[in-house]
Structure 1
Amino acid sequence: MAVTALAAVHFLLVPDAGAARRLRRELASSGARTGVVVGVWPELVTLALDNFVLSPPATDWNTAAHNALGAHPDAFWAGSYANAPGETCSVVCNQYLQLLQETEPDAPFSPLETTELAGRGGAHLSDLARFHQALDGALPDHLAAIQVLLQAPQGLRPLYIYVSPMLTALSVWQLRLVAHLNHGCAEFRDPALQAALDAVAQPPEGLQAVGSSLACLQRDLFDLPEQKVERDNSVQWLAVRDFFEEAEVAAGMVQSILASDKTLAPADIGILVPNRLEYTYALRDAFALARLPLSGLGDPNWRRDLGRELILHFLQVREKPAPAMAVAACLTSPLMPWSQTEGATAAQRVIDGDWRISAWRGISQDGDAVLELLRGEDSTGASLADALGSLVRHLSANETLAEDRLRAAELVEAISAELVADAPVDWSSVRRLAGPDRLEAEPATEFTQEGVTVWHEGREAWRSVRHLLVLGFAAGHYPGRDGASPVLSETDIHQLAEQTGLPLVTRRARLDRDRACFKRQLNMVAETASFLIPRRDPAGEAQSPSESLEFILYLFGEEEGAVLSLDLSVDRAQARFLRVSDSMDVILPSCRPFGDLAIGQNLLALRTDAEGNPKPESPSALETLMVSPLAWLLQRLKAEPALWIGEKLDVLLQGTLAHGVFERVFAAGEELPERKALPDQVRTALEAVIREESPFLRSAAWAVERHLLEGQLVRAAEAWRDILAELGANVIGTEVWLQGQLGKLGIHGQSDALLALPGDRLLIVDYKKSSASSRRDRMLNGYDSQVELYRRMLQTGGLKEEGAEGLAERLRASADIGVVYFNLNDATALSDSNVAESSRLPGWEWLDNDVSAAAIALIERRVADLEHGRIVLNRAGDQEFFEKQAGVKPYALEVSSLITLFMPEAGEGVE
């Protein structure tokens, strides 16, 4: 039985989808054809594999590359690789592959292995040669496919490959594959197809803007001719604020162009945009508002790799101390067995400093098991493998997440295979396996006959237009910026090319390609081109115009002053096609005057106990009330901004750690520690408090801050121990809750320590992780509320906790009660009590004024306002008043931006 040969395929290779679309249109317009395929390189490789009945080679390039890098701890990349393995691997591999693909496939990396360069470049090239040897033939997928095809026998059908060197630049490996596929078929190639492909590199016949300034750009851009041309209105440059304004101006200009020429269709107008996501969103929104369809813009065609992303964060969590952001990322992952709201709430608690990762009411068994996994840690490969397996088993069963669960399970299987059961976990190696991938979604680009034509920077134009708007004409675009390689310099590449004869691609060659592409895009325009220059980047930073502007202005003998700024009315009047709104009377926005809030109910009753009585207020809450009643209200309503901020050793956390250390070192009922033993005791106590309150400080990255804090606390502890010894004081309580009354308002607070002095005297101690200067100012000005609040607690109530009768009796028997602030940063004690022994104590200061009078008076007024449902809003002068006159740092004003937003202009500060 005879076998019928399959028909030949003529494959026309183009650089991108834009060129493919244009060529398909041209071929279809010229007549019907069969056996002709237009496509890009990956499509050619897929077609060739199918033709030879081959499967794409399965490679693990990422693992092989990391192993090869790790095999040479003395190579130039070693230091960077230890700190940033993923980024370092990407940089080294990019340079290696750029060199490799320009060598012969049957002798990869030869003759580079034996080539010598002087200095730094030579050392780097030698290390790359060792990297090549360590790879032992491993290749990334795209090169492995070429290698397989080069060894393939005859295929099912002849393949005739057409390439236009003016349009598509190929590496040596790609050229060898094209030659292999074309072997022996020269006489069967169709000259008409080759001519059609070459024509894509040229503008369509009759399209050029002959005799205009645009024609000068199309002909001479980047060539620097001696003769200058007088500029006409076929080109213009408009400076705008940023990409948002660009999109809005572009939409208006399209409307104006269409209105000025009724023969135009939207497809006759083109927009050239950078390949940046912000332009996609800005153009889509602006043109939708203008009711203008777009053709070729496209949507982001990628989505999050939820499965691998979760495993990466879980690995970071299991390596203690865990970053708060990693824990929060796990809790909010859609793959978790709880709702997004529950996850966000739990994550916010972690961000706010609650590291317990506690379960909540109604959590499922799967959820409880996952929380237990997040709390745990691993020291061996066996325990980590068990934890990873358990995590996958307890993930959400949501069917829409099936693919993400599968990707998580596959990654867990790969990681577990690399773990050694009874060996310590090599965390850096494990994390390298877990990097999320960029998952490609279904392409969403829509090409329509009627829509405004959209081209993209660095890609071929897919249809001609009469008017073009070039957006994002700023530094780094048109042509795109090609950064210098940190591995081999441009000089190194030139020397290698000269010594080896290899066609190595230089930065200048890539620049020339990009310039040629931009010039071909301009040559697809028939009448006008407008270049929009954003003065600021998406981050709001100033940026300069595209480097190509200098070449353009050179052609016309002009300076940068030719750029019209749309901020200036004179320039706007000169701009062509600019859509300017009609002048109209200015209507000021409605500005309803506002003043203090009259809510009409007792705001102290926002929190009540079981009997319906208002819960007591703490000294810190009353200080917030004193500074800003609105801040107090927002906190009561839990309406403060919920921010995700990375870990930091701020003043608040330092205070928490210091309090914990002093509570342990100077414990109630214990003898004073020996002075020489304090450094060890402080160190031990600090380690314990860090483990409970801020585990992230245990990591090596925080060693400097941890040691500085430890030194400060040792010096403060030594000074405090000396003061206690001189006073003859005994610590009779730490973290003691007191309660009492401020008028009719219940108050409570936790004193850091209670000291019993000879003669039935008592001192309430408050440790402050600050210097004495700020506290002294507020005490001298009468704005220190805590002294009087603690004193009133003892006078009107006493201990809040039951079962401490001995301590309660001691408090009732005290003839004199004082308050002292011990400021840890400068080991200074500030007190409103004249302790007899203080005269011989260095660093003890007695303030003989009423340190709380003004503060208590203001607080009592604020409380009366709350009882009547009145919130006095802050005035513009409040911050200056509290800082300069009261000596109080007004942190409450920073609780929410609403406080300054709703700040009446009237008023000179605190009433």
Structure 2
Amino acid sequence: MRIDPLLTRSPESGALRPVTDDLLAEVYLSPQRPDLRLGDHLGPGAPWSESFEAAPEETARAVEAGLLAVAHATPYLDPSYLSPEALPEGRARSHLAALRDLWRDLGALPGQLDTWRHVLNAKAGDALEALPLATPDCPFATPAEGALAGTLRAHHGAAEAPPASSSDKEGSALRHIQDHLGRRSDEIAPDGSIACHGLRDPREETEFAAALAQSMLEAGRVESASEIGLLVPDGPAYALSLREAFDRVGLPLSGLPEQDARRDTTGELLPLLLVLLQGPAPRTALASLYVAPGMPWSPETGRRMAREVIDRGKSRTASELDGPARDLLDALRPCDTPEQLFGRLGAFARAAPGVELAPRIAPLKTVTDKTIDWPLLRRLAAPGPQAAEGRDRFVEGVSFFTESALPWRPVRQLIVLGMAGGHWPRLPGSTPFFTEGEIALIRDSGLLLEGRRQRLARGLDLFRRQLGAATEGLSLLVPAVDLHGNRLSPSTGLALIAHMQGAEEPAELVQDLRAVPPEHWPVAATRPEPVRLGGASDLPENGVLHIQRGLGTPDKPGVDLLRLRETEDGPLPHSPSRLETLLVSPLGWLLDELGAKDRAWAPETLDVMTLGTLMHQVLEDVYAEGAPVPDDATLTTTVPGVLESAIRRHARWLTDAAWATERASLLREAQDICTAWAGFLRDTGAKVLHNEIELKGDHGGLLLHGKADCLLKLPDGRILVVDHKRSSAGGRRERMARGWDLQVALYRAMLERPSEDTALTRLVAEGAQVVTAYHMLRDGTVLSDAHGVDVPRVETAGADAAVKAMEHLAKVLAEVGAGTIRLNREGDAKTFDKERGIKAYALKNPLVAAFCLPETQEEEDAQ
């Protein structure tokens, strides 16, 4: 790590190089110490003990930051220099005293400060080579940095320092900024030595920087690419984007990392495995494993498995794998003992050797005894970014300078990117250990602890010295938003530069390129034609799309939209829910048929679908086929176990302790539902014939498929086909009363015109009367069609609950069969709810919403 601003000049070659921790360790033969694990020394009795028990990792980092800050404030890295007794009683005194005691107990310092202390205590003859310093004293150095610089000068002397400012244009705005940024100075009039351009975002910045560098060469402002420098914020985003942008214009970049920052893929995988092996496994974790690199299956197979597990909670493709893939998946079972855990981690490492997991597993074993401390293991296995390595520097390229270091050579033209947000200088945050008031109190006692003000001044001075690399011109690039689209405010450095040139606001200095014609830009540019309608879809005014189904021939007919989901055995049947989507939105139905769905990954949640599945399973298990109706006492003892079994079958993640409140609420709901259903069965004298009944049939030649939740036989011989709905009766009652309930009619169609012979269809064929009904779980209401008018506790909702729905379905099927798709309008959701009692969930599809037409004036007046 560089120790800025220290530079040393070789006595033999005159070459400058930064003083680094590694260089000092090599020259002074500093002893190598094992990494100091501060968390092992933060025992009880300290002011931070309670915090350490609650959050050990975070507390250890905060204590380490406080210890390093205090050490930097001592001239010779000696804990005896700390005098907390000079402070009044309070938090500052107690925490400073605790840090001194910890430092003494450790006998060492984390990081590289032990190397510094070794140098401070060394003699000049201990150095293996001369390191004459070529930099003057820094006014913002910490006491420890000042002592280190003084020791090196005493041992090796001083060498010629590079000029503080590279610009030879006395009186120019550039030279004035280089000499006085962050200091008191007079204003100077703007001139051509400084330009400031406003861009949209960092991506556009990098493209513009490459074009600007190219134009400088073409215009003769520089003679070679090496006379141009880029001062760039730290982080991989700018480096990667600049590499691409300069490659496109054919200019080499000198100073880029030899090895870009990389993801720690192995480190990402191990915490994922720990989550899966602790159980129950979240579907997002399992999907992440399927698409992880290095797995014993192809990337395409992994993506298919991930889609399946996100959509359905399990993967059929995964169940069909064999070989190492099968071994790996078989090892993903919850563990109870350390032996099981490390045995399965070992099996995983053998099945996927390319991941190189074994070296990461070994440290976990050393901290595991007789029980598994899952939180500790996850903290130890947490991934860390693989930092960029080395710098590929050569003479001919455009110079790449980083935010945290001094430029390594002068340039004629310097381009500074990212002059907005938290850069130039990088805004200092508050320390996690001492408050600013406590820092001021400690400084008054004589210990020069750095606060935000000192760190900001130091950052400004570094920025001033970085700008000193330019000899002729400076170009500042200011992004308006970051890559997430969040607006950015001008940086502190830009505000100071603008004020030094007489501007009240930074915006007065910035030339926003989006507000001027391309012919006035400093680089040649072309602007694409704007998208028609501002990017909105160009839709037919009548809202009708005619899908081209192909000309077709007698031997090979065109595509039939009603047969899009075709298999070797013929078209797949339509479910009532799919046809209800067709009623609401033909486009939404078409997208479903094509599989054009939102496949966003999301964690499991207790949504309507999951709640309905659990309650359906509870009713099916409590009221088994042919069993007598249980009494209330039996229900009280039976329902908890049945609910637990349903949770383990359909939503195992709910067994986690974090969901205890929800499980208690579910149990109360299940008890209420089962008690109400038992009362209904007793009052009607009904018997449960079957649960989960498959229904298959056709309507007007359209194949149908569905499931009835429960089949009851009434005392008079009638059959009650029941569909459990986890909602209240209000909305369904209104829909049935207005004739817009499609499901009851489709159930009857499948029973009267079956495509598969079952016990139920035989009963219907023999003359049994069928009543279709909904059991509304939230309030216990049972709603039926007109055939259930005299069934006790059954509420009928009208003469024909489906007449309008069936009429509209016939119309829509005819249109879709002819290739016609009617688009929705923006007010359809309100209309369906108001006039039909239908909640238009299909319109929540973002693709459907994107193609909704605006309301006509007549429709708006009607509302």
TM-score range, shorter chain: 0.7 to 0.9
Equivalent in the alignment of 2:552: none
Match of 2:403 among 437, 440, 457: 457
Task: Could you tell me which runs of 5 or more consecutive residues in structure 1 were left unpaired when the two chains were aligned.
Answer: 1-12
In structure 2, relative to structure 1, the CA distance for the partners of 1:596 and 1:902 (3 Å cut) is farther
Change (3 A) 1:505 1:593: closer
Q: Deviations over 1:570-607 (max 9, x none)?
A: x669x986336479998979999883213222455555
Corresponding position of 2:644 = 687
Give 1:161's aligned residue.
131
Letter in 1 for 2:802: S
1:413 aligns with 2:362: yes
Does the residue aligned with 2:722 lie in a helix, a strand or coil?
strand
Partner of 1:729: 686
- The residue that corresponds to 1:743 in the other structure is 700
Question: Of 388, 400, 412, which residue of structure 2 is paired with 1:466?
Answer: 412
Aligned AA (2:112): H
Cα 1:147/1:321, change in 2 over 3 Å: farther
Q: Which of 280, 298, 313 matches 2:239?
A: 280
Name the structure 2 match of 1:852: 802
- Structure 1 residues 700 and 148, CA gap change in structure 2 (3 angstroms): farther
Matched, 1:44 2:44: no
Are 2:207 and 1:240 equivalent residues in the alignment? no
Q: 1:531 to 1:641 in 2, by over 3 A?
A: same
Q: Pick from 378, 381, 387 the counterpart of residue 338 of structure 2.
A: 381
Amino acid at match of 1:38: R
1:833 CA displacement: 3.5
Alpha-carbon separation, structure 2, partners of 1:73 and 1:786: 69
| Matching residue of 1:601 | 559
CA apart distance, 1:545: 0.9
Partners in 2 of 1:739 and 1:648 — Cα distance? Answer: 32
8 Å CA contact retained: 2:754, 2:761 = no
Q: Who is 1:5 aligned against? A: none
Please give the alpha-carbon distance, in whole angstroms, between the structure 2 residues aligned to 1:826 and 1:693: 24
- Is 1:312 the counterpart of 2:259 in the alignment? no
Corresponding residue SS for 1:40: strand
Q: What's the counterpart of residue 326 of structure 1? A: 285
- Residue in 1 that maps onto 2:33: 57
The one-letter code of the counterpart of 1:424 is: T
**CA spacing shift, 1:162–1:649, aligned 2, 3 Å:** farther
Are 1:520 and 2:465 an aligned pair?
yes
Residue 339 of structure 1 aligns with an amino acid whose one-letter code is: S
Shift of 1:628: 4.0
SS of residue in 1 equivalent to 2:234: coil
> Is this contact kept in 1: 2:132–2:159, CA < 8 A?
no
Equivalents in 1 of 2:527, 2:71: separation in Å? 63
SS at match of 2:427: coil
Give the CA deviation at 1:863: 4.3
Instruction: State the match for 2:327 in structure 1.
Output: 369
- TM-score, with length taken from structure 1: 0.81
Could you tell me whether the CA contact under 8 Å between 2:770 and 2:787 is conserved in 1? no
The residue number in structure 2 matching 1:493 is: 439
1:428 to 367, 372, 375: 375
Which residue of 351, 376, 385 corresponds with 1:438? 385
On the 8 A contact 2:46/2:98 being kept in 1, the answer is no
Aligned partner of 1:33 in structure 2 is 12
Q: Measure, in 1, the Cα distance between the counterparts of 2:680 and 2:765.
A: 25
Q: Where do 1:19-418 residues align within 5 Å?
A: 33=12, 38-48=17-27, 51=29, 56-59=32-35, 61=36, 64-69=37-42, 71-72=43-44, 76=48, 78=50, 82=54, 85-103=56-74, 107-108=78-79, 111=82, 118-122=89-93, 124-125=95-96, 128=99, 136-137=106-107, 139-140=109-110, 142-143=112-113, 158-163=128-133, 164=135, 166=137, 186=155, 189=156, 194-196=158-160, 198-199=161-162, 202-204=164-166, 207-225=167-185, 227-261=186-220, 264-298=223-257, 301-355=260-314, 359-361=318-320, 363-374=321-332, 376-396=333-353, 401=354, 404-405=355-356, 408-418=357-367
Counterpart residue type for residue 449 of structure 1 = V
C-alpha distance in 1, partners of 2:689/2:521? 83
Unaligned 5+ segments in structure 2 are: 550-557
Write out per-residue CA displacement over residues 593-645 of structure 1, whole angstroms, 9 at most, x where no aligned residue. 883213222455555577x3333222222223444445444444444343322
Cα displacement (A) at 1:478? 1.1
Rate the CA distance shift 1:483–1:692 in 2: closer, same or farther, 3 A.
Answer: same
Q: Distance in 2 between matches of 1:219 and 1:667?
A: 88
Distance 1:715 1:608 in 2: 44
Letter in structure 2 aligned against 1:525: A
TM-score (norm 2): 0.85
Contact residue 85 and residue 432 of structure 1 kept, 8 A = no
Q: Distance in 2 between matches of 1:103 and 1:477?
A: 29
Residues 510-909 of structure 1 mapped to structure 2, 5 A cutoff: 510-560=455-505, 561-564=507-510, 566=512, 569=515, 578-579=522-523, 581=525, 595-599=545-549, 600-607=558-565, 612-675=569-632, 678=635, 681-797=638-754, 805=759, 815-833=768-786, 835-836=788-789, 841=793, 845-864=795-814, 870=819, 872=821, 874-876=823-825, 882-895=832-845, 897=847, 899=848
Please give the alpha-carbon distance, in whole angstroms, between the structure 1 residues aligned to 2:726 and 2:83.
62
Distance in structure 2 (CA, Å) of the matches to 1:744 and 1:781: 26
DSSP 3-state at the match of 1:271: strand
Letter in 1 for 2:22: E
State the aligned residue count. 841
Q: Quick one: distance in 2 between partners of 1:328 and 1:80? A: 34
Give the Å deviation of 1:790: 1.0
Identity %: 31
Determine if contact 2:182/2:461 at 8 Å carries over to the other structure.
no
The equivalent position to 1:507 in structure 2, one of 436, 452, 456, is 452
Q: Which amino acid aligns with 2:522?
A: L
- Is contact 1:678–1:718 with CA below 8 Å preserved after alignment? yes
- Which digits, 9 at most, give the CA deviation of each residue in 1:270-315, with x for residues without a partner? 3322113332233333334444443334476222333333222111
Answer whether contact 2:236 2:261 (CA < 8 A) is retained.
Answer: no
Amino acid at match of 2:773: V
| Shift in Å, 1:78 | 4.1
Is this contact kept in 1: 2:65–2:432, CA < 8 A?
no
Residues 274 and 810 of structure 1, relative CA distance in 2, 3 Å threshold: same
Q: Distance in 1 between matches of 2:527 and 2:645?
A: 69
- Which whole-Å CA distance do the structure 2 matches of 1:331 and 1:555 have between them? 57
Is 2:71–2:77's contact at 8 Å kept on the other side of the alignment? Answer: no
Work out the CA distance in 2 between the residues paired with 1:176 and 1:567. Answer: 48
Cα offset, 1:656, TM superposition: 1.8
Amino acid at match of 2:21: P
Deviation at 1:514, TM superposition (A): 0.9
Alpha-carbon offset, residue 480 of structure 1: 0.4
Partner Cα distance (2:52, 2:767) in 1: 64
Deviations 1:405-448 (A, max 9, x none): 1xx2122222223222xx331111222221223334653x4434
Q: Which amino acid aligns with 1:370?
A: L
Q: Which residue of structure 2 aligns with residue 7 of structure 1?
A: none
* 1:203 partner letter: S
Specify the code of the residue in structure 1 equivalent to 2:34: A
Q: Which amino acid aligns with 2:190?
A: R
CA contact (8 A) 2:685 2:714 kept: yes
- Please tell me the residue identity of whatever aligns with 1:249: F
Give how far 1:126 is off. 5.9
CA RMSD for the aligned pairs? 4.1
**Partner Cα separation in structure 1 for residue 738 and residue 789 of structure 2:** 24
| 2:226 and 2:395 in contact (8 A); partners too | yes
* CA 1:824–1:502: 2 relative to 1, 3 Å: same
CA distances 1:363-383 after superposition (whole Å, capped 9, x unpaired): 333221211111x11122222
Aligned AA (2:417)? L
TM-superposed deviation, 1:789 = 0.9
Is the contact made by 1:821 and 1:830 (CA closer than 8 Å) also made in structure 2? yes
Q: Distance in 1 between matches of 2:338 and 2:220?
A: 72
